[in-house]
Chain A
């Protein structure tokens, strides 16, 4: 494809009858094909869908009390798996399978929304920095350098000490530490694209910077955004789990995968495997799946790059 055709595809207005519209769906199909060829990615996608269904629809089928452990008061905590509790109970007497579902809900929700937040912020930051350039660019990038020099986990912990750890705050805090990579990428993309003829043409016709950014630079950066977004969800889930493992995740009785691991840390010493391994396996599956899918998406988008020439 030539630059002309790209403008035709991206520009929503204007008569683009010369542009072969048919390339768009076939391009998408091509990408789908590349993605589907990656067996690991397809398996990962299935695993993710299953775990999401398990976490969100599971509680509708498998009823447990997850807000008040006194429901199981008459029973022994740390019960081994039995017919009454398929995965046993944990050290606070909650049903472990139900705990997994609730923890899964929270982990997935926080991971997704934190990534969304990080992406939105990072994309805006990178676009502004790269497109405007000059001293604004220098200032924004030096701020980014400062942030990058502090280990993310320490920033997370410092922010949590200051702001607390409700679900929304955890999303914000994880989002606030997850946008560095995408900001850099978008800045680089904006710098290279703003000098292209079509961006210059819009400027010459009197288009405002915002229009150039939204209509011309952003669509071209969509592959980096989607790929990085996928990795970002995995990273956010990992970040939440790290915090939870340190005892800084969601507060009782709410829980997430990391917090479950934290509460059951001593269970391992006592041999209560059902409190550790199911959640560890599930968590690892999700994080690895997001990485595989991100990899496959990158490959799939490369089809478009090849097409573009």
Chain B
């Protein structure tokens, strides 16, 4: 509920540089900013729980309900992030596994080096680099997402499936954010599990190599990855903000940036609130997923 706390300071910030004093006072009164901070906060909270996020106070979109502005972006960001996560997992799990199996080989070192480079390159630099090479120099992929008409829950997903070429660069940039960390964790996680007693037991009772690997080692190695998945969400959404701005894709990130440039405090607050909510939901899903992957984790208090 943090953003709502900041809400009180907002009136001064936007209305300070507007027109005459009486006009400011009138607008302040209309928007309820002349009430005391506590009353404002109370109103904001009451409205929030009624599902009312207030109206936009930006120059270009004054009076439009914030929920309308944001609603179109939520699922775009969710699907973009989800797709990139799937790619990141699809790349990093096998990569980390092979790295762990061929520890200290040339392959291991090469991947480690590559992973470090990708990991330490910020999203916007990776984006600029990809655009300059693949869009401008070779014109393989378009530099911006031109057609993002999809609305509703699955509209954006259909967009991605229909014109994958437009979405490849943004997805690659977002994948680059997480794939490095995942690969590192996967490698060390498999390494850890390979020296466990149960792996030795499985080998001792004559299980085949692949059975040991997939049934005993991999299944346990995946457990920490589920936890990491939840922890990367804030970074992923932050990266989505940069990526969406870079590729002009109207998700939550671009909406937030445009709202800031527009001095639209209500929309920024609502977007931040929603992103926090999405992060928490994601973490909850990861925790639930953990109990699914690892039967030792029980939901509920009794043990």
Where the two chains meet, the residues of A that have a C-beta atom closer than 8 Å to any C-beta of B are: 146-155, 157-164, 238, 241-242, 245-248, 258, 261, 265, 268-269, 271, 276, 280, 283-284, 287-288, 291
Contacts and interface: CB of A to CB of B under 8 A. Distances in A.
Nearest to B122: A238
A241 B129 CA distance: 16
A151 B235 contact: yes
Contacts of A271: 136
A268 B129 CA distance: 10
A190 to B, nearest CB: 24
B241 A146 contact: no
B6 A150 contact: no
A242 B122 contact: yes
A246 B13 contact: no
A219 B7 CA distance: 40
B201 interface: no
Contact of B122 (A148, A154, A158, A287): A287
Contact of A261 (B9, B124, B143, B237): B124
User: Top 10 nearest A-B pairs by Cβ distance?
Assistant: A153-B238, A151-B234, A151-B238, A150-B276, A151-B237, A245-B124, A154-B272, A158-B272, A161-B268, A268-B132
Given A150-B275, A154-B241, A268-B128, A161 B13 contact: yes
B120 interface: yes
9 contacts: A151-B238, A151-B275, A152-B238, A157-B260, A158-B268, A161-B260, A162-B265, A246-B260, A248-B257
B99 interface: no
B272 A147 contact: no
Nearest to A143: B2
B271 interface: yes
Given A261-B124, A280-B125, A245 B256 contact: no
Given A150-B275, A269-B136, A247 B2 contact: no
A294 to B, nearest CB: 12
Contact of B6 (A158, A284, A291): A158
Q: Chain A: interface secondary structure?
A: helix
Contacts of B111: none
A147 B268 contact: no
Contacts of B115: none
Contact of A153 (B9, B241, B276, B280): B241
Interface string B255-294: 0110111010100110110011001100100000000000
B6 A248 contact: no
B59 to A, nearest CB: 14
B245 A246 contact: yes
B24 interface: no
Given A161-B260, A268-B128, 10 more contacts: A149-B276, A149-B283, A150-B234, A150-B276, A151-B233, A151-B275, A154-B275, A157-B260, A158-B269, A242-B242
Contacts of B259: 161
B152 interface: no
A296 to B, nearest CB: 15
Contacts of B122: 238, 241-242, 287
A271 B132 CA distance: 9
Contact of B268 (A148, A157, A164, A268): A157
Contacts of B265: 161-162
B238 A149 contact: no
A171 B143 CA distance: 33
Given A148-B234, A162-B9, A287-B122, A280 B128 contact: yes
Nearest to B132: A268
A229 B271 CA distance: 31
Interface string B125-136: 100110110001
B10 interface: yes
Nearest to B241: A153
Contacts of B272: 150, 154-155, 157-158
A164 B263 CA distance: 10
A152 B279 CA distance: 12
Given A149-B234, A284-B125, A246 B242 contact: yes
A148 B280 CA distance: 10
Highest count of chain B CB atoms <10 Å: which of A147, A149, A151, A164 = A151
B282 to A, nearest CB: 10
